[in-house]
Amino acid sequence: MKIQTLNRIFTFTSKIVVYPGAAAWHFLPIPRKEGAEIKEKFGKRARGWGSLPVTVTIGKLKWDTSIFPDKKSGTYLLPLKAQIRKKGEIYDEDTVTFVLKLK
């Protein structure tokens, strides 16, 4: 994992988590150690529900979204909408490398 905190850029590799339920939300969890660092350095910028705005890059895909704190896992979660998963050919149980740039 590479971290460039001066540029607010973080690169992670994480396995998709699917939350059960009718909506079956898909997320990429941020590793706990780095999630704690993000909260410490950027938590004051939090918006509703504790979210932090980010730009995400996965392969050739790039979009603006937010990461959200998750009490259950103790870190942040990056939601992956169906449209992004389809465009990126990302499937349940995949392990994905992604770049976060905090705004």
Q: Could you report the per-residue pLDDT of 52-91, keeping only the tens digit for each? A: 999 999 999 999 999 999 999 999 999 999 999 999 999 9
**Mean pLDDT to the nearest integer, 39-60:** 95
In the predicted structure, residue 1 carries a pLDDT above the cut 80: no
Residue 38, both tokens: 């993000």
- The per-residue pLDDT for 6 is 55
- The per-residue pLDDT for 37 is 92
Sign, CA torsion 90/96/99/103? positive
- The per-residue pLDDT for 24 is 86
Query: Per CATH, the architecture of 2-102 is what?
Result: Beta Barrel (2.40)
Instruction: Tell me the Cα Rg of the chain.
Output: 13
